[in-house]
């Protein structure tokens, strides 16, 4: 079975502060990990994936297989980062895609 | 641009009705998914399909079925709608492990 856990439902920070959204996963094989974001009144969209090892909108995420974690980080939060963030895992030959419960990030001015 | 289109933005149905939610993608993707999105519960996978006529149960398939007769269309069927199926339903298609989502259908069962 594959499972994604996001321990924080809500996260509130001030503009310019660092932000970290936590994600832990459970999967017996080699998973692919993703962060998806949903801005207000917009569709859910891919933010970044672990295999790309890239920074998108200042966000990075490192896969830690030892701790089975894939935390999302940004050194200086911006107000436009306010959104719902979902961690997701894809595994198996049929690419089943499983999401966590999401973390609502609010960046205050 | 990838387009994933869900047939309705809002639906209101009566308890016991058979409900069809349609999803169409225009990029020849093999993998398609149906989720329901509820506050505090995130996205829960109902069913997914990895090819025409192929389907697999997700985590909460009870009360739902699906149909994939053509590659571009993936339908979610509520055999007998109940009030606990009131939710936002999201369809997605996937290519190269990136999922593209539709705009969602907010279904209310009264």
pLDDT given for residue A51 in this prediction: 81
pLDDT given for residue A31 in this prediction: 87
pLDDT given for residue B98 in this prediction: 87
* Token duo for residue A11: 């996260």
| Interface size, chain A vs chain B, as Cβ–Cβ contacts under 8 Å | 56
| For residue A8, pLDDT beyond 90 | yes
Tens digits of residue pLDDT in A21-71: 999 999 988 889 999 999 999 999 999 998 887 888 999 998 998 999 999
Rounded Cα distance between A37 and A20, Å, is 14
Closest partner CB to A86 (pick from B43, B59, B102): B43
Among chain B residues, CA nearest to A90: B97
pLDDT given for residue B19 in this prediction: 97
Among chain A residues, CA nearest to B54: A94
Please provide the average confidence, as pLDDT, over all residues in chain A.
93
Which one has a higher pLDDT value, A96 or A70? Answer: A70
Best mutation target among A31, A99, A104 (most B Cβ atoms within 10 Å) is A99
Which segments of chain B have a pLDDT < 50?
none
Closest partner CB to B101 (pick from A32, A44, A102): A44
List, in order, residues 6 or more apart from A63 with CB less than 8 Å away: A33, A50, A69, A70
B-chain residues within 8 Å CB-CB of A9?
40
* Token duo for residue A51: 């295999």
Rounded Cα distance between B30 and A88, Å, is 19
B-chain residues within 8 Å CB-CB of A99?
35, 42-45
């Amino acid at each position: 079975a594959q499972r994604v856990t996001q321990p924080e439902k809500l996260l509130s920070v001030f503009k310019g502060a660092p932000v970290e959204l936590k994600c832990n996963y459970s999967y017996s094989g080699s998973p692919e990990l993703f962060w998806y974001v949903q801005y207000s009144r917009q569709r859910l969209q891919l933010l970044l994936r672990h295999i790309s090892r890239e920074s998108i909108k200042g966000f990075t995420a490192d896969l830690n297989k030892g701790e089975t974690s894939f935390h999302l980080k940004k050194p200086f939060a911006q107000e436009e980062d306010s959104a719902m963030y979902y961690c997701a895992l894809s595994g198996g030959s049929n690419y089943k895609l499983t999401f966590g419960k999401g973390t609502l990030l609010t960046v205050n001015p | 641009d990838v387009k994933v289109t869900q047939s309705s933005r809002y639906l209101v149905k009566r308890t016991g009705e058979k409900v069809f939610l349609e999803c169409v993608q225009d990029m020849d993707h093999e993998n398609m998914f149906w989720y329901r999105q509820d506050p505090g519960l995130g996205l829960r996978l109902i069913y997914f399909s990895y090819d025409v006529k192929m389907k697999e149960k997700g985590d909460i398939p009870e009360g739902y079925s699906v149909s994939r007769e053509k590659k571009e269309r993936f339908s979610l069927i509520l055999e007998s709608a109940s009030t606990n199926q009131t939710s936002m339903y999201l369809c997605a298609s996937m290519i190269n492990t990136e999922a593209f989502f539709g705009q969602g259908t907010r279904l209310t069962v009264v």
